[in-house]
């Protein structure tokens, strides 16, 4: 499967600051998914990006897929304590196979 | 509630024990997955079943044996595990058509002593 690198591994921000996590691949991705896992919880699907250069927004979250479909980012504007958790990107290989990045653990300091 | 349930939620077993993890999805999905989540490691895809047929086995040791009797149920049979197998085991399902959005269960926290 394709290896997806995710950075940073950890991020501490003051409440109200912005946050960004990046996924990078050495090969072209067919599509990319983003998930959030709260502490003690399970991954929850956020969004899927398919098209080159695609940008999608969900309230304070902005998701981007690179023009070359080799990278993706998730940006959170004005973080809140409810944003705490680990954010994963996942690359879909052929069919039903998914390969997850290492995740970025976000801590929001009130 | 994601519509995917897993039992048990916690399991402690010795290395010589045999146990099974159970997953059930109530979403009418056609694909089911087992993942292993260890500390400081990415989610590892273990097995994929599509329409009850195994389509992926990512070099998982034979001490892990999956079973998918129908599209709603998935089992992971465990036998003579090692302490390094201690992890959170997550089950997921997806429709397998057009959208591959995965719905995860709450996981089973497994400790091998």
Q: Which of B43, B60, B91 to mutate to test the interface with A (most CBs of A within 10 A)?
A: B43
pLDDT value at residue B54: 79
Is residue A35 within 8 A of residue A87, CB to CB? The reply is yes
pLDDT of amino acid B84: 93
Nearest to A99 among B45, B102, B106 (CB): B45
Q: What is the pLDDT of residues A71-94, one digit of tens each?
A: 999 999 999 999 999 999 998 876
Q: Which residue of B has its CA nearest to A91?
A: B100
Chain A residues close to B33, C-beta within 8 Å: 96, 98
The CA–CA distances, whole Å, from A52 to A27, A28, B101 equal: 14, 10, 19
Cβ burial A79-104 (10 Å sphere, 16+ → b, else e): beeebebbbbbbbbeeebbbbbbbbb
Mean pLDDT of all residues in B7-34: 94
- Contact in structure between A65 and A74 (CB atoms under 8 Å): no
Chain B partners within 8 Å of A95 (Cβ): 48, 50, 55
Alpha-carbon distance values, A80 to A18, A38, A61, A97, A110 (Å): 10, 13, 12, 33, 8
ω into residue A8 within 30 of 0, thus cis? yes
Mean pLDDT of chain B: 90
Model confidence over B41-70: pLDDT tens digits? Answer: 889 999 999 877 777 777 899 999 999 999
Residue B49: CB atoms within 10 A of its CB come to: 22
Nearest chain A alpha carbon to B42: A102
B44's CB contacts (< 8 A; 6+ apart) are B35, B36, B37, B38, B58
The 10s digit of each residue's pLDDT in A25-82 is: 988 888 899 999 999 999 999 999 999 999 999 999 999 999 999 999 999 999 999 9
Mean pLDDT across the stretch B83-95?
95
pLDDT for the residue numbered B11? 96
Residue keyed to tokens 């992926």? B56
Choose the mutation target among A43, A50, A87 for the interface with B, i.e. most B CBs under 10 Å: A43
């Amino acid at each position: 499967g394709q290896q997806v690198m995710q950075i940073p591994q950890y991020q501490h921000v003051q409440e109200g600051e912005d946050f960004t996590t990046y996924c990078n691949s050495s090969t072209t991705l067919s599509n990319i998914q983003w998930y959030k896992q709260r502490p003690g919880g399970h991954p929850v699907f956020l969004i899927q990006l398919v098209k080159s250069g695609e940008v999608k927004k969900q309230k304070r979250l902005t998701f981007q897929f690179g023009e070359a479909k080799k990278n993706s980012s998730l940006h959170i504007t004005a973080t809140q304590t409810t944003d705490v958790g680990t954010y994963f990107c996942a690359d879909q290989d052929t069919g039903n196979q998914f390969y997850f990045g290492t995740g970025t653990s976000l801590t929001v300091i009130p | 509630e994601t519509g995917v349930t897993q039992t048990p939620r916690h399991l402690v077993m010795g290395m010589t024990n045999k146990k099974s993890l159970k997953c059930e999805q109530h979403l009418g999905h056609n694909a089911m997955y087992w993942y292993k989540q260890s500390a400081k490691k990415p989610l590892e895809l273990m097995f994929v079943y599509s329409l009850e047929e195994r389509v992926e086995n990512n070099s998982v040791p034979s001490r892990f044996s999956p079973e998918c009797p129908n599209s709603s149920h998935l089992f992971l049979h465990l036998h003579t595990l090692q302490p390094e197998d201690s992890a959170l085991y997550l089950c997921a399902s997806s429709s397998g058509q057009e959208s591959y959005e995965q719905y995860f269960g709450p996981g089973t926290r497994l400790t091998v002593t």
